[in-house]
Amino acid sequence: MAEDEPLTDIKDRIDQTLVDTLDPEVWERIRTMDAGQNELGYDPFGFQPEFLKYIAPAAKLLHRRYFRTEVHGVERIPDSGRVLLAANHTGQVPIDGVLIGASCLFDRDEPRMPRSMVERWVPTIPFVSYILARCGQVVGTRENCRLLLRRGGAVLVFPEGVKGVNKTFDQAYQLQSFGLGFMRLALATDTPIVPIGVVGGEEQMPSIWNFESLATLLSMPSFPVTPTWPLLGPLGATPLPTKYHIHFGDPMTFSGEPDAEDRIVQSKVDRVREAIRELTKRGLHERRGVFF
Amino acid sequence: MKKTSIPSQTIVITGIGGHFGRAVARRLHRHHEIIGIDRRPVDDLPKDIDMEHIDIRRRSVEDIFRRRDIEAVIHLNVLHDPRARQEEHHDFNIVGTQKLVNLCDEHRVPKLVFLSSANVYGPDPTNDQFLEEDAPLMGGQNFGAIRDLIALDMFCNTFFWQYPELETVILRPVHIVGRVNNAPSRFLRLDRPITILGFDPMVQLIHVEDVVSAIERSLIPGVRGVYNIAGPSPVPLSVLIERLDRNPLPLPEPIARGVLEAGWSLRLSNWPVPELDHIKYVCMVDDSRAREELGFEHAHSLDAILDEVEAMPLL
């Protein structure tokens, strides 16, 4: 074991350097947040708040310096208890999820880690599989979502799904149709919904055209063509440093039969959709420009 | 654990000669009369156990049922040897169980407890984090050697309507680790266990004695059904390896597969290649039904389980 010690030492020092980039008080609150972890620091889904030290510094840099997110009303998320966060989904690469997560960690007195649902093929990717799990991301099955809510978690959903991310620039900030699943779960588990409007994502990678046949060939959900991608190669795929504005709405509560007809659930979903539309509208109205 | 008094019964345990069978016998023989059946030679069993060295497919097994009023059968006699011939494997497991259930039916045995495994669900990236009892048994899609167990599990499932008087209990415990010689225990006994680079699934383990407790609870009259059984809360595989102070050998998946395939075909290793999925994807169960209906509670912590790993040498 003796020869391992310098290595462990280096690892500890790197860890400490990462932690030092964070405000010690904020880090202490993140590290000790109650996410239902066991005595070894893991929750049943593999989330380990301690692990956030590897992600939080980068997320904070994106949040504060690169995208300079302006966050409004993040305290509207209750400090504890189950809650669904429903946001619009934009921007070809899902930076919005990262920034909503960063807002909930850095801009609240009581940090909460929103747990989002990832695609079912994510666990097949080496490293990504467990890194996302350690950061609290969960494979998107209905049962997993139900269990997270039952355990009092904050679950982040994008009811537009991948349709929202992939749309071309001419449809910027037009909400796509919403799935009904999140509402059925909210009704079944009696969970309040906090609507979130994200502004700034659409301009980070304005997609001119979706090269669908190539996407099918590469089995990707879409292949966006932007002014710089694929023209400038990988560099062209870097999101532009747009300024993000995130507006959190007041929690909405719904009651009713979770197994009701689509028509009835749809009317409730439309109320959430309307709330998100209002929040994005406010964000668009308040911002002075795309980059500042 | 809640104490429900289980009346003293006469119990047949098949496959009593294995490490797990002996653990069950050692616990139950104090309160019950035990008759053990195994075709293997068995030693170090308590003296008051009637031992029958016989293959359960043999006709003379019926004598045991004629001689005594059997009140419960605990069926542990499942051959799981990936090197054994398929026909022998299948015949022993399926035909043996068929014979046994016929005997239970003819001799009006009220209870049959079958030990299946949570592995019947199979590790898969799309699995729910915690599978419930009604999840499909997909373990066989990549791993042929477990199809027998799945077939048996499903076969026992048919008893609920075929033999309604027979109270059938099917237990699906997670990886039993400790004083047994199964794949997960052997894996954790390796000095340099292979892991797949970039994968670190959550795993559930359970102590041998806790599974014995679950079997004991299953003997309560009136209990029937399928129950997942799990122990302490799950942890990542890497944490298990770290706590055992092992030095893992992370290999990229294609290399790990290649090495295992070569080892398997050259008979240098007995690890079936598809079992790699267990150190790659989740296969965990929700045991709340057992905790509510059986009153099952695990008594052994993760540390207690890992201490037991060292208690047996790697064979």
Q: Per the CB < 8 Å rule, is A42 touching B239?
A: yes
- List the beta bridge partners of residue B37: B14, B52
Q: Is residue B212 part of a domain?
A: yes
Q: Summarize pLDDT for B64-79 with one digit per residue, the tens.
A: 999 999 999 999 988 8
Q: Taking residues A27-31, report their average pLDDT.
A: 89
Q: What's the CA gap between B279 and B81, in Å, rounded?
A: 20
**Residues of B whose CB is below 8 A from A42:** 202, 233-236, 239
Q: Is residue B189 part of a domain?
A: no
Q: A40 to chain B: nearest residue by CA?
A: B235
Q: Summarize pLDDT for A158-211 with one digit per residue, the tens.
A: 999 888 888 889 998 999 999 999 999 999 999 999 999 999 999 998 888 888
Q: Per the CB < 8 Å rule, is A42 touching B236?
A: yes
Neighbours of A93 (CB within 10 A): 16
Is the backbone peptide bond immediately before B173 cis, with ω within 30 degrees of 0? no
Task: Name the helix (H) or strand (E) containing B151.
Answer: helix B147-162
Q: Is residue B245 part of a domain?
A: no
Pick the residue with more confidence: A229 or A176? Answer: A176
CB B13 within 8 A of CB B76: yes
Q: Looking at residue A47, which CATH number applies to its domain?
A: 3.40.1130.10
**Residues of B whose CB is below 8 A from A124:** 125
Q: Is residue A254 part of a domain?
A: yes
Using a 10 angstrom Cβ sphere, with 0-12 exposed, 13-18 middle and 19 or more buried, the burial of residue B225 is middle
Neighbours of A170 (CB within 10 A): 9
Q: Per the CB < 8 Å rule, is B129 touching A126?
A: no
Q: Per the CB < 8 Å rule, is A126 touching B198?
A: yes
Output the DSSP codes for B173-194: ESEEESSS-SHHHHHHH-SS-E
Q: Is residue A3 part of a domain?
A: no
Question: Average model confidence (pLDDT) for chain A?
Answer: 91
Q: Is residue A244 part of a domain?
A: yes
Q: Summarize pLDDT for B198-212 with one digit per residue, the tens.
A: 999 999 999 999 999
Q: Is residue A210 part of a domain?
A: no
Selecting from B127, B234, B302 the residue whose C-beta is nearest the C-beta of A44 gives B234
Q: B125 to chain A: nearest residue by CA?
A: A123
Selecting from B127, B198, B302 the residue whose C-beta is nearest the C-beta of A127 gives B198
Chain centroid offset of residue B121 CA: 13
Q: In this model, does residue B121 exceed pLDDT 80?
A: yes
CB B133 within 8 A of CB B227: yes
What is the predicted ipTM? Answer: 0.87
CB B42 within 8 A of CB B18: no
How many beta-carbon contacts under 8 Å exist across A and B? 69
Q: Which residues have a Cβ under 8 Å from the Cβ of A162 and sit 6 or more positions away?
A: A89, A221, A222
Selecting from B130, B233, B281 the residue whose C-beta is nearest the C-beta of A38 gives B233
**Number of structural domains found in chain A:** 1
Tell me the angle at which helices B208-218 and B19-28 cross, rounded to the nearest 10 degrees: 60
Q: Give B4's pLDDT tier (boundaries 50, 70, 90).
A: low
Q: Is residue A122 part of a domain?
A: yes
* Domain residue limits at B160: 10-177+205-231+284-299
Q: Is residue B270 part of a domain?
A: no
Task: Name the helix (H) or strand (E) containing B237.
Answer: helix B237-243
Q: B240 to chain A: nearest residue by CA?
A: A40
Q: Is residue B197 part of a domain?
A: no
Which residue type sits at A175? L
Q: Give A2's pLDDT tier (boundaries 50, 70, 90).
A: very low
Task: Name the helix (H) or strand (E) containing B161.
Answer: helix B147-162
Among candidate residues B292, B61, A76, the one with its CA nearest the CA of residue A86:
A76
Q: In this model, does residue A1 exceed pLDDT 50?
A: no
**Number of structural domains found in chain B:** 1
Please identify among residues 30-49 of chain B the ones whose CB lies closer than 8 Å to any CB of chain A: none
Exposure pattern of A35-73 as b/e (b: 16+ CB <10 Å)?
A: bebeeeebbbbbbbbebbbebbbebbebbeebbbbbbbb
**Residues of A whose CB is below 8 A from B132:** 143
Q: Is residue B97 part of a domain?
A: yes
CB B39 within 8 A of CB B14: no
DSSP code for A39: T
Q: Which residues have a Cβ under 8 Å from the Cβ of A208 and sit 6 or more positions away?
A: A168, A169, A225, A226, A227
- State residue A92's pLDDT score: 85
Q: Looking at residue B96, which CATH number applies to its domain?
A: 3.40.50.720
Q: Is residue A29 part of a domain?
A: yes
- State residue A3's pLDDT score: 52
For B79-113, what is the HEC assignment? CCCCCCCHHHHHHHHHHHHHHHHHHHHHCCCCEEE
For tokens 């289980």, the residue is B6
Q: B254 to chain A: nearest residue by CA?
A: A126
Residue B193 phi/psi, 5-degree rounding, is -65, 135
Sign of CA dihedral A270, A273, A275, A277: negative
Q: Is residue A243 part of a domain?
A: yes
Q: Is residue A164 part of a domain?
A: yes
Say which range, A181-185, B3-7, B41-45, B85-89, has the weakest mean pLDDT: B3-7
Q: Taking residues A65-72, report their average pLDDT.
A: 95
* Domain residue limits at A110: 14-204+239-286
- State residue A25's pLDDT score: 87
Chosen from B134, B235, B246, B251 to mutate, greatest number of chain A CBs within 10 A: B235
Selecting from A45, A124, A130 the residue whose C-beta is nearest the C-beta of B125 gives A124
Q: Per the CB < 8 Å rule, is B202 touching A46?
A: yes
User: In the numeric block, which tokens belong to residue A207?
Assistant: 């997609």
- State residue A21's pLDDT score: 87
Q: Is residue B249 part of a domain?
A: no
